[in-house]
Structure 1
Amino acid sequence: MNQEILMTSRQPSQNREQQRQEDPQSHGTRAQEHAPHDQQQLQNGQQTTVQQGGGQRKITLIPLVFLIYFEVAGGPYGSEKAVRAAGPLFTLLGFLIFPFAWGVPESLVTAELAAAFPGNGGFVLWADHAFGPMAGSLLGTWKYLSIVINIAAYPALVADYLGGSVAPAVADPGRARTGAVIGMTLFLSFLNYAGLSIVGWGAVTLGVVSLAPFVLMAAMAVPKVRPRRWALQVKGGKDWRMFFNTLFWNLNYWDSASTMAGEVDRPERTFPRALAVAVVLIAVSYLLPLMAATGATDAPPDAWVNGYLADAAGIIGGPWLKYWTGAGAVLSSVGMFEAQMSSGAFQLLGMADLGLLPSIFSRRAARTGTPWVAIAASTAVTIAVSFLGFDDVVATANFLYSLGTLLEFAAFLWLRARHPALKRPYRVPLPLPALAAMCAVPSAFLAYVCVVAGWRVFAVAGGLTALGVGWHGVMRVCRAKKLLRFNNSTVVAADLQEDAGDDTV
């Protein structure tokens, strides 16, 4: 699909009347025109108006399931440090409980709001409609930087797996590793340019191939499993900070696919179904391999470093399964890179459609429909941060994501409280107090992730947040003075309303 979402949120009544006269088809029915002021603006914001190239939406249920799968997990690769930090038992409990205690609430929020606002940009649209352009821009900054910082971990993770099996030279810092990381980043970004449909069905293929060795490993491990091995303890104290950061890093980003909602076929139906399937798939894809690897091998928790799952597969099934698992790690990292690069690029496109970024970020390739400027920008940022330490990448990405998700939950509850009549093709079947309780559990965990992040992460996240606020201010000046071209100049009116203290949505 080559569609754009034309958002008309928070315009003064005079501007709305003028636009109704110029384009009556983009502003709902005559009955909607007599709705309350803020409700009418939200309904206007839901309208899909422009089709580019006459294309159709391309992402259907199965590709969306695997895009979500790679946004969130991509398999158990990268989970090894949880075993090293807290031991097998706590790791198994974590991957049993966390997908449901954390994944289900965020999936429900994503399903409702992605169906209510089926446009590219996802959570940026939600915060923008709830709290205004500043909130949308700041949430977009946090989430986008979290995504691209997270993406930077995947080429490094691939290098770790390759270094442990077929290319030892890329395992240690040096020119070989630097060249490998940059080369993989550029190559995978170019693949993303091929089109979202190709990325979606490619995710299906990569998912099946990368999960297959773990299915075999779990089956072959059954007669070798000794439950007592699951109770092995780590030497010294448990590293809870590393444990929760690793757990969170492996199981967040449930809402990232919402940034591509404008490309999804019937998002009001497809998103809830895809998220429900993905929750189960992701929980199983972690639990079975970890139960097999920890229960069928005698390796102490200290041996669990990135790449150990391939060694465990070799112990259980032989060298052929080890190399297949290692290859699966590479394929899984490719899938995660592609899915999250698409999410970040379409987020920038959605922000450009809203007028929060210059219109250049909404440019699409003529043949593939991909936002090529947004992909190029994301690639540059990814390379710039790709040489941070793995632990720093995980902690910083988690911190920024936590800030954004707390604001996202607030937007969800605010829209439910202030706009209960807003059209929601899918609606979480709970009253507002129950929704607040539902969001409280993951919010408490998000707060914990922020508190234990450490001073270096605080400093980096604080600097990036200040950069985001400053960027929003620069964009306001550029819109007002027409220094850059924007798709939606009406956001200037909303900025003026914010300055005047107008609390309308």
Structure 2
Amino acid sequence: METRLARRLTLGDAVVIGLGSMIGAGVFSAFTPAAAAAGAGLLVGLAIAGFIAFCNATSSAQLAAQYPTSGGTYIYGRERLGEWWGFFAGWSFVVGKTASSAAMALTFATYLVPDAVVKPVAVAAVVALTVVNTLGVTRTALLTRILVAISLIALTVVVVIGLTNSTPSAAVAGPPLTVSGMLQASGFLFFAFAGYARVATMGEEVVRPARTIPRAIVIALGIVLVVYALVAVAALHAIGPAGLAASRAPLAEVAASAGIPGPGFVVQLGAAAAALGALLAMIAGIGRTGLAMARHGDLPVWFSAVHPRFRVPYRAELALGAVVCLLIVITDLRGAIGFSSFGVLLYYFVANVSALTQKKDHRRYPRILAVAGAVGCVVLVAALPLPSIVAGVAVVAAGVLYRAVRLVVARG
């Protein structure tokens, strides 16, 4: 059976997939817990999260150029640090992003339908996008372009209204500024950035990967940094830190400050499209990491199959879709942002450590960026809410135990 993927993604496709991975439900939801933790200090939190994301992105970019295959940091950790490091990264990514996928599906449904049918609609969205992914990566890139365009239109509406209108609550003081609060806000806001290296997990499908992947990662992250900064300033101007901290749908509230219904509908549609775009990219990215782990025996080899016609890891993606649907049914995933950030920060910690071991001829950026990224990831993990840390440690430990048992059984 064919097990190689086809190189069909251009630089434009790769940038769009990176944008779709980042400009998701996070930007429509992460500002609320960030403002609750840091008040107006969420701008500082955004800067910290953005800087750490940049450090992580540069490490991921130069690693992807050296190892242009599916799996991202799972592969980098294995190649540079050893099999256990690779498994640790891959498991952290799969667990964190699976939970985040369920949260994205629920966000999509919450913005569009009444509470009574949120979960059935969320499940339907996961089923539909899983099918789209199994029909080929070029279809994934095409749909992502459409969803990203809708999302950017909605965010443009938010920025324009936010900078020109304000409510009485905008003058109400938010939580006090503290270092711990700003770091926790950074941890929450990192959730909205996570995804910039998603194209690296699809390295086996990118045209001229050594050149395309690093450029795509940096371009996509740069665009998102500018967009998020504008949205944050606009939201603070319109409803203030206290309003952000209290709102379930902060950007919709910013749009509502215009006093007319049209902008609110546009933002509602944009939030739904953003959640779908992020969910679509996540299914693709997790599927490729699952494929890589299955190829190396860290997941059942059954998941390593590539569809003979569409050339995608269809078994891994179908299994992922089923697990995400199950999570939607059994939980509301409150705290999914913190839990997802926990797993993804650990994933990028391994990426930074891996980048530190690269030789000079493969290094594209100063080593200090990898050091700063690794330290930043650890600091943000420690700053997350305690329940997110406890749950994350438990699930990562379960994965480590699974691999240890499998190795013992394999050795007979």
Residue 185 (structure 1) aligned with residue 121 (structure 2): no
Q: 1:334 maps to what in 2?
A: 276
Give runs of aligned pairs for residues 102-113 of structure 1, distance below 5 A.
102-113=52-63
| Pairing 1:169–2:115 present | yes
Once residues 369 and 438 of structure 1 are traced to their aligned partners in structure 2, the CA distance between those partners, rounded to angstroms, is 36
Contact in 2 for aligned 1:133/1:356 (Cα 8 Å): no
Question: 1:216-255 counterparts in 2 under 5 A?
Answer: 216-224=157-165, 232-234=172-174, 243-255=185-197
Q: Displacement, 1:267?
A: 0.9
- What letter matches 2:156 in structure 1? V
Which whole-Å deviations, capped at 9, do the CAs of 1:75-95 have from their partners, x for residues lacking one?
Answer: 7211331234322x3223333
Given residue 210 of structure 1, which amino acid in structure 2 is its aligned partner?
S
Q: Name the SS for the 1:441 alignment partner.
A: helix
The partner residue of 1:153 within 82, 98, 103 is: 103
Shift of 1:59: 1.0
Pairing of 1:60-459 with structure 2 (within 5 A): 60-74=10-24, 76-81=27-32, 82-87=34-39, 89-99=40-50, 101-162=51-112, 167-170=113-116, 176-224=117-165, 232-234=172-174, 243-297=185-239, 300-301=242-243, 304-316=246-258, 318-386=260-328, 387-416=330-359, 420=360, 424=362, 427-430=363-366, 435=367, 437-459=368-390
> Is the helix fraction higher in 1 or 2?
2
Counterparts in 2 of 1:458-497, with a 5 A limit? 458-476=389-407
By how many angstroms is 1:288 displaced? 1.9
- C-alpha distance in 2 between matches for 1:237 and 1:93: 10
Q: Note the alpha carbon deviations across 1:439-464, whole angstroms, 9 max, x for none.
A: 33333332233324455434433332
- For 1:217 and 1:398, locate their aligned partners in 2 and report how far apart those are by CA, in whole Å: 25
CA distance, structure 1, for counterparts of residue 36 and residue 109 of structure 2: 20
Q: Residues 218-265 of structure 1: CA distance to partner in whole angstroms, max 9, x if unpaired?
A: 335544479x98775215787557523321211223333211100111
Contact 1:74 / 1:332 at 8 angstroms: preserved in 2? Answer: yes
Normalised to the residue count of structure 1, the TM-score between the two structures is 0.73
Q: Is the 8 A contact 2:166 2:257 kept in 1?
A: no
Shift of 1:73: 3.3
How far apart, CA to CA, are the structure 1 residues paired with 2:87 and 2:245? 43
Preserved CA contact (<8 Å) 1:230 1:295: yes
1:224–1:178: structure 2 CA closer, same or farther, 3 Å change rule?
A: closer
- 5+ residue gaps, structure 2: none
Per-residue CA deviations over 1:178-232 (Å, capped at 9, x if unaligned) read 3233233222222222221111121111111111132244335544479x98775
Q: In structure 2, how many angstroms separate the alpha carbons of the residues matched to 1:79 and 1:179?
A: 24
Using the alignment, how far apart are the partners of 1:128 and 1:402 within structure 2?
Answer: 18
Residues 349 and 478 (structure 1 numbering): CA distance in 2 closer, same or farther, change over 3 Å? Answer: farther
Q: Percent of aligned pairs with the same residue?
A: 22
Shift in alpha-carbon separation, 1:244–1:391, aligned structure 2, 3 A: farther
Contact 1:59 1:264 in 2 (8 A): yes
Can you give the 5+ residue segments of structure 1 that lack an aligned partner in the other structure? Answer: 5-50, 171-175, 482-505
Aligned length: 407
User: SS at 2:335's partner residue?
Assistant: helix
Tell me the distance in 2 between the aligned counterparts of 1:213 and 1:117.
Answer: 36
Cα separation, 1, equivalents of 2:223 and 2:389: 34
Q: TM-score, structure 2 length as denominator?
A: 0.88
Are the counterparts in 2 of residues 105 and 442 from structure 1 also a CA contact under 8 Å?
yes
When residues 129 and 302 of structure 1 are mapped into structure 2, their CA distance, relative to the original with a 3 A threshold, is closer
Larger relative contact order (CA 8 Å, sep ≥ 6):
2
Give yes or no for contact 1:144–1:344 (8 Å, CA) kept in 2: yes
Do 2:9 and 2:205's aligned partners in 1 also have CA atoms closer than 8 Å? Answer: yes
RMSD: 2.9
CA distance in 1, matches of 2:162, 2:22: 26
Amino acid in the other structure paired with 2:311: G
Tell me, what secondary structure is at the counterpart of 1:366?
Answer: coil
SS at 2:174 equivalent: coil
Change (3 A) 1:364 1:306: farther
Letter of the structure 1 residue corresponding to residue 57 of structure 2: S
Choose 1 or 2 for highest CA Rg: 1
- Secondary structure of the residue aligned to 1:77 is helix
Kindly tell me: are residues 303 and 402 of structure 1, through their superposed partners in 2, closer, same or farther at Cα, counting changes over 3 Å? closer
Farther-moved stretch of structure 1 (235-244 vs 113-122)? 235-244
